C-alpha cells in the first residue's frame, strides 16, 4: 500500500471510530415511551416517567375564580336565556353532559361530542381540532355559536350591565369593569381551577403501593406495554399532542364523513391534518361517556377496543379490556373543595 492509500485508510478508520463513539453516546436507541412504565419510585419531578401526578394551577385570583363560576352557570350568556356553560359541561358528571351531541338554544343539536372542561387548563389547545389556543378563546366560541348559545356581545353585556351587584364585582376585580375580555378572563380563570387532584393513580405515582388493586396495576402495565402511553402521557394522560384517528386502520372507511370528522384539516387545510384530533385527556374518563369526537363509543370497554384496533393494530382479549378499564377508573380525581372522588 502506498503512502496516500495508507493515509486514506487511516482517515476512514478514524471516521468509523468517531461514528461508533457518537452512536454510543448520542445515538443509542432509547426506551420507547410505550415501554417506559412509571413506578412509585418515579416521582413527579422525574422526567423519565411518561405520566406525572396532576397538580393544581397556582396563582389564581380567588375573586375571579368565584366570579367565573357564577358566569359559568349563568344562562344570560345565551340568546334565549336557556343555556349556560354548565349545561354541556356538568361538573358533577365529569365536566360533560353525557350526550352524544349537545343541545343548544332552541333545541339545536350539535355535531360533535362535548369534551370535558375538567383539567382543561393543561390542554395544548382547546376543542377537538385545537382551533382555540387559550381557554379565553374557547369560552368565546360557544357564546357566539348560533347552535350553541347563539348570543352577541352587545346582547350579553347589556343584560349583565343591568345587574348592579355583578357590575360592582367586575369593577372590584378589573380596572375597566364589565367587558367581554374581562368576562372571558373570569370564566377561564374558574376553568383553570377545575383540576381533579389526588386520584388513586396519582397517589400510586407518589409512592402509595396500596392505592391500586392488583387488577388496576395490571391494567396500568398493559396500558403502558401495549403502547397506549405513547399518546396518553403527561399529567393529563393526553391533551398535549395531536394524532390521527386511525393510525393503523381506517376508522372512517364506509361512512359518510362530516365536517366534524375532518379534525385539524378543517382549520389548516393541510392533507396531513385530515382526521387529526387533539388526543383527549383520560383523567376522569370513566365518567365521561360517550367517547370520541363523534360520541360513537357508548362504553369505556368499547372505546378501549376501538383504540387498540385503530391506533395500535392490536385486538385485545376480554382480560386485557377488563384490566385496562379498571386502571382507567383510577384516574378519577377530586374537584377543588370536594371530599369525593
pLDDT of 237-296, one tens digit each? 999 999 999 999 999 999 999 999 999 999 999 999 999 999 999 999 999 999 999 999
323 lies in which domain range? 33-54+197-241+279-331
User: Which letter does DSSP use for residue 155 in this model?
Assistant: H
Average pLDDT over residues 191-209: 97
pLDDT in tens, 207-239: 999 999 999 999 999 999 999 999 999 999 999
Clarify whether residues 84 and 161 are in a common domain: yes
- Same domain membership, residue 115 and residue 226: no
Q: What is the pLDDT of residue 1?
A: 47
Mean pLDDT for 183-193 is: 98
* CA angle 254–324–197, rounded 5-degree value: 110
Decide if 270 is inside a domain. Answer: no
Q: Is residue 262 part of a domain?
A: no
CA distance 183 to 189: 10
- Residue 177: pLDDT above 70? yes
226 and 170 together in one domain = no
Question: Do residues 193 and 297 lie in contact, with contact meaning Cβ atoms separated by under 8 Å?
Answer: no
- pLDDT bracket for residue 44 (50, 70, 90): very low
148 is catalytic: yes
Q: Which of 148, 191, 216, 217 does the annotation list as catalytic?
A: 148
The pLDDT value recorded for residue 309 is 98
SS (H, E, C) 310-328: HHHCCCCCHHHHHHHHHHH
- pLDDT of 11 strictly over 70: no
Instruction: Say what the pTM is.
Output: 0.84
What number of other Cβ atoms are within 10 A of residue 136's Cβ? Answer: 19
pLDDT digits (tens, 9 = 90+) for 15-33: 444 443 333 333 333 322 3
State yes or no: pLDDT of 6 exceeds 60.
no
Q: In angstroms, rounded to a whole number, what is the distance separating the alpha carbons of residues 33 and 238?
A: 13
CB 281 within 8 A of CB 128: no
Q: What percent of the chain has pLDDT over 70?
A: 84
Does residue 341 form part of some domain? Answer: no
Distance CA 6, CA 148 (A): 78
Domain count, the chain: 2
Confidence of residue 38 (pLDDT cuts 50, 70, 90): very low
Give yes or no: residues 108 and 167 share one domain.
yes
Q: Is the pLDDT of residue 326 over 70?
A: yes
Query: Distance between CA atoms of 77 and 240, rounded to whole angstroms?
Result: 30
Q: What percent of the chain has pLDDT over 90?
A: 83
Q: Are 74 and 84 in contact (CB under 8 A)?
A: yes
The answer on 175 and 159 residing in a single domain is yes
Residues 119 and 210 in one domain: no
Co-location of 226 and 106 in the same domain: no
pLDDT, residue 40, reads 36
pLDDT digits (tens, 9 = 90+) for 73-109: 999 999 999 999 999 999 999 999 999 999 999 999 9
Are 68 and 190 a contacting pair, CB within 8 Å?
yes
pLDDT (0 to 100) of residue 337: 62
Whether pLDDT at 2 is above 50: no
Among the candidates 157, 176, 192, a domain finishes at 192
- At 336 the pLDDT is 78
- Chosen domain end from 130, 161, 192: 192
pLDDT at 189 over 50: yes
Confidence of residue 14 (pLDDT cuts 50, 70, 90): very low
CATH classification at residue 117: 1.10.760.10
User: Per the domain annotation, does 252 fall within a domain?
Assistant: no
Same domain for 306 and 224?
A: yes
Regarding predicted confidence, which is higher, 340 or 133? 133
Averaged pLDDT, 179-196: 98
Give which of 231, 325, 281 is closest to 94, Cα–Cα: 281
Q: Is the domain of 113 the same as that of 145?
A: yes
One domain, residues 167 and 283: no
Tell me whether residue 175 is in a domain. yes
User: Can you give the pLDDT at residue 335?
Assistant: 85
Is residue 102, in this structure, part of any structural domain at all? yes
Amino acid at each position: 500500500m502506498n503512502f496516500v492509500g495508507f493515509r486514506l485508510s487511516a482517515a476512514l478508520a478514524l471516521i468509523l471510530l468517531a461514528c461508533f463513539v457518537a452512536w454510543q453516546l448520542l445515538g443509542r436507541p432509547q426506551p420507547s415511551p410505550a415501554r417506559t412504565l412509571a413506578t412509585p419510585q418515579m416521582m413527579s419531578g422525574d422526567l423519565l416517567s411518561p405520566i406525572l401526578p396532576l397538580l393544581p394551577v397556582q396563582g389564581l385570583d380567588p375573586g375571579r375564580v368565584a366570579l367565573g363560576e357564577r358566569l359559568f352557570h349563568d344562562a344570560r350568556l345565551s340568546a334565549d336565556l336557556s343555556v349556560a356553560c354548565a349545561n354541556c359541561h356538568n361538573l358533577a358528571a365529569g365536566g360533560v353532559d353525557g350526550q352524544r351531541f349537545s343541545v343548544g338554544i332552541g333545541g339545536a343539536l350539535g355535531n360533535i361530542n362535548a369534551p370535558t372542561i375538567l383539567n382543561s387548563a393543561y390542554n395544548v389547545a382547546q376543542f377537538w381540532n385545537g382551533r382555540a389556543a387559550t381557554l379565553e378563546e374557547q369560552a368565546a366560541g360557544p357564546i357566539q355559536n348560533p347552535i350553541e348559545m347563539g348570543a352577541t356581545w352587545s346582547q350579553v353585556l347589556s343584560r349583565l350591565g343591568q345587574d348592579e351587584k355583578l357590575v360592582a364585582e367586575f369593577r372590584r376585580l378589573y380596572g375597566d369593569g364589565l367587558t367581554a375580555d374581562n368576562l372571558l378572563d373570569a370564566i377561564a380563570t374558574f376553568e383553570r381551577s377545575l383540576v381533579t387532584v389526588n386520584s388513586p393513580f396519582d397517589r400510586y405515582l407518589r409512592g402509595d403501593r396500596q392505592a391500586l388493586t392488583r387488577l388496576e396495576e395490571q391494567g396500568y402495565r398493559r396500558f403502558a406495554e401495549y403502547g397506549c402511553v405513547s399518546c396518553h402521557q403527561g399529567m393529563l394522560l393526553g391533551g398535549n399532542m395531536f394524532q390521527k384517528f386511525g393510525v393503523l386502520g381506517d376508522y372512517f372507511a364506509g361512512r359518510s364523513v362530516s365536517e366534524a370528522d375532518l379534525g385539524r384539516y378543517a382549520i389548516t387545510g393541510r392533507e396531513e391534518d385530515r382526521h387529526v384530533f387533539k388526543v383527549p385527556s383520560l383523567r376522569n374518563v370513566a365518567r365521561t361517556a360517550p367517547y370520541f369526537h363523534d360520541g360513537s363509543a357508548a362504553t369505556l370497554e368499547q372505546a378501549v377496543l376501538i383504540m387498540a384496533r385503530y391506533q395500535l393494530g392490536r385486538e385485545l382479549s376480554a382480560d386485557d379490556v377488563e384490566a385496562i378499564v379498571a386502571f382507567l377508573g383510577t384516574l378519577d380525581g377530586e374537584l377543588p373543595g370536594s371530599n369525593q372522588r
